[in-house]
Structure 1
Amino acid sequence: MCIAAWAWDCHPAHRLLLLFNRDEYHSRPTQPTQWWAPGEGSKEILGGRDELGGGTWMGCTRDGRLAFLTNVREPSSLIGGKTRGQLPVRFLQGSHGPLEYATEIAKEADQYNGFNLILVDLNLGTMVYISNRPGGDPVIQTVAPGLHVLSNAAIDSPWPKALRLGQTFERYLETHDDADTSLKHMVEELMMDTIKPDRCMVPETGVDPEWEYKISSIFIDTAKGQARYGTRSMVALAVKLDGEITFYERYLENTLWKENFIQFHMEKEQQREP
């Protein structure tokens, strides 16, 4: 189901600091974060890959485009809905700015199960949020500078796990200067948190309350029937003011936790419409 927290355009040394946990059934085949071989005319994407749908939950490009996705918790699903993981891919491989792309996606939003999508152009300094739930027309908004959290409801919704991550993230940034901001340490300190709220605080989403409680922590490790479900990967991404991008991932492969560390410098592109 995923959860993300980020500091956008409000840090003295970073344009963006992003933390992201991906939650999924352990049986779903997945490739860890790597550079995808670009197809003809398409851009190279750095991201994990869902081998069933072919999309991603989070990815970026060398020219400063970034997108990440969470599902919206809902009791029923649209049978035959389009694969949500293609929404970030289409943005990353395309040329539209975040707002233009979000406007285009809004026209087909009813063809997808519930999603929250964040679109970023680091060269433009633009971040946009689009969601197709709950009900009515899709919501599109520009994301203001500051600290934000996104789980499986609207951006900055006060779910207990979102509030907890937002608070711990803010405290971490207040007590660690840039030289002491280790992405690996941030993941270990903030994204492996297994504390659940009191049952009375768990949000009512229409799904089974017991299941909602089991997945109410930031880091999840549980089961649904015979199927193991939980946090499959944890990511920290940092974009410095000079354009240096550092990507750290801790991911589960079978029963072993492994690590990825990738660093590159963002390329400049010609001015585009936001």
Structure 2
Amino acid sequence: MGIVGFQWGANQLTLLQNRDNWETRQVLLYKFIYNFVHQYALHCWLMSKCVIQRVIKAAAWNEGENILRGRCEESDGTWFCVSKRGRVAFLVDSALMVNMFDENGRGPESTPVEFFLSGLSPEMFAAKLVAEENEYHSQFEDEDDDEMSGRAYELIVADITSGSMVYISKPSSVESVVHTQQVAFGVHTLSLEGLDSGSPKDQRLRGLFNEMIGQNGNQELPPMNELAARLYDPTEAVPGDELTALFVDKIANLASSELDHERCGTTSTTAFSVNHTNKAKFYERYLENGNWYESNFAFNIA
């Protein structure tokens, strides 16, 4: 869950992202175990379901200090990552409470990491992901159980140095359909409704970005913490609907039979920019144990 606004151009990217999550960042884990009963030549899938913690820690460099991202220790997933080579991936997962995680812990937040590990161009990775999702869902073609589902996400993968950015959308966790398209230079939004949705929330963020660009012109961007502060706006784009605010304060009206005491809200804000001289800046404000913390990084894209 969450929303992203970004301006994409030749060797340049400016991004603002709010991440919404459950208060303790828990999700359901659906774990499939393949069983073979030799005597009857019977193949079956058994599903175990439990609630696990999926805390994505504050952004940090990996051991090689060439990839910057937050990291979930259980799944190795993230919702934003960038490398010193100029590869970038970010997402919102569109079915937070019903996404499947296989026995290896792969979920929507695994997709950015899969892009980095693949070493593929954005276009080739998109094609690979389409094939993998089709293969995964083909295992359940004869199943009637609605819980036999997979991942759902809205994902962007990009290579800043080559000027390539691809949008990958899998809106349904129970269907294999994946949409892909090249992302043109300009201002865009990414949310649960997809890329450049006409929803009031997306329109509000797009207007904020256009206003910021108009005010800034060709001048250098303001400090990253000031840029991120633009997303701390709790104003509801649709009055009375808390989820249409850019910054979602903790609310208790998202019913869940599994997590009926959990509350949902914005748990982190990310600001990121790369300018035409390949200088990158990253800022994060994140919620941990009820307190807000900040982190800053500056590096060069090589």
Q: What TM-score range do you get, normalising by the shorter chain?
A: 0.7 to 0.9
Residue-by-residue CA offset, 1:49-91 (whole Å, 9 max, x unaligned):
12332210000111110000111258x8354554111110011
Find the aligned partners of 1:144 and 1:108 in 2 and give their Cα distance.
26
- Aligned partner of 2:92 in structure 1 is 70
Find the aligned partners of 1:51 and 1:160 in 2 and give their Cα distance.
35
Residue 176 to residue 56, structure 1, CA distance change in 2 (3 Å): same
- Aligned partner of 1:155 in structure 2 is 195
- Aligned partner of 1:59 in structure 2 is 81
Q: CA RMSD in A?
A: 2.2
Report the residue type matching 2:12 in the other structure. Answer: R
Q: How many residues align?
A: 246
- Aligned partner of 1:185 in structure 2 is 226
Find the aligned partners of 1:245 and 1:79 in 2 and give their Cα distance.
34
Residue 117 to residue 79, structure 1, CA distance change in 2 (3 Å): closer
Asked if 2 retains the 8 angstrom alpha-carbon contact of 1:30 and 1:51, the reply is: yes
Q: 1:47 aligns with which of 69, 82, 85?
A: 69
Report the residue type matching 1:6 in the other structure. Answer: F
Q: CA deviation at 1:185?
A: 1.1
Equivalence map 1:1-274=2 (5 Å): 1-9=1-9, 15-28=12-25, 29-38=55-64, 44-73=66-95, 77=98, 79-80=100-101, 82-109=106-133, 111=136, 112-133=150-171, 137-177=177-217, 178-188=219-229, 190-198=230-238, 213-224=241-252, 225-267=260-302
Find the aligned partners of 2:156 and 2:21 in 1 and give their Cα distance.
19
Residue 175 to residue 199, structure 1, CA distance change in 2 (3 Å): closer
Asked if 1 retains the 8 angstrom alpha-carbon contact of 2:56 and 2:72, the reply is: yes
Find the aligned partners of 2:130 and 2:236 in 1 and give their Cα distance.
34
- Aligned partner of 1:207 in structure 2 is none
Gaps of 5+ in 1: 201-212, 268-274
Asked if 2 retains the 8 angstrom alpha-carbon contact of 1:47 and 1:58, the reply is: yes
Find the aligned partners of 1:180 and 1:36 in 2 and give their Cα distance.
27
Residue-by-residue CA offset, 1:180-227 (whole Å, 9 max, x unaligned):
522211211x21111113359xxxxxxxxxxxx332211112234422
Of structures 1 and 2, the larger Rg is shown by 2
